[in-house]
Amino acid sequence: MSIGFRNRPGATVAGNVWSRMLRISVTVGAIIAAGCVAPAALMAGAAGAGSAGLGTVIVAVVFTISLAGLWWSARYPAPVAALVMLVLYAALVAAGTMILFSAPKPDWVLPPWMGAAVIGQVVAWLGGSALALRRSRLPVFDVDTRPRPTEEAA
């Protein structure tokens, strides 16, 4: 039984890099979420689980919006993807700032559990994105190195 190129450890994978980043990040984020919410529920009850869940949802929504926007823009030329990334980043920072400074903290939120979940989710999403990007086949160095005919040879 032969192992295909795609199934070897460390092999690169062709396809839409944004969809791979989204899929891997969601999977790793779900594992981290379970690892944060379950202990929070056992140690701090419903408030701890709700706090960890809220932190998980906030980070997951932000990263999902970003990666979904980049996935959508992948069908257009590269400058469009760069512009989409810039606009999404600015909009998410602005929205986050407005929410952070205008919304009161609910009484049931426990900051240590929410903070642990947020840190875990950011690490999961960035790590999942980096893993997917590292294993994706991107045509960055696809340069034609064949000698070109010169006018003298013609």
Domain boundaries, the chain: 16-137
Q: What type of residue is 74?
A: A
Q: Give the bridge partners for 13, in sequence order.
A: 136
Q: What type of residue is 21?
A: M
Query: Residue 37: its pLDDT value, please?
Result: 95
Query: Residue 131: its pLDDT value, please?
Result: 86
Answer positive or negative: Cα dihedral of 134, 17, 92, 115. negative
Q: Which residues contact 113 (CB under 8 A, 6 or more apart)?
A: 36, 40, 44, 48, 49, 51, 52, 55
State which H helix or E strand residue 51 sits in.
helix 17-73
pTM of the model: 0.72
Only one residue has tokens 């947020």, namely 118
Per residue in 36-81, pLDDT tens?
A: 999 999 999 999 999 999 999 988 888 888 888 888 887 888 788 7
Query: Residue 17: its pLDDT value, please?
Result: 76
Query: Residue 4: its pLDDT value, please?
Result: 42
Per residue in 93-136, pLDDT tens?
A: 888 888 878 889 889 999 999 999 999 999 998 898 888 877 77
**Lowest mean pLDDT across 3-7, 14-18, 32-36, 73-77:** 3-7
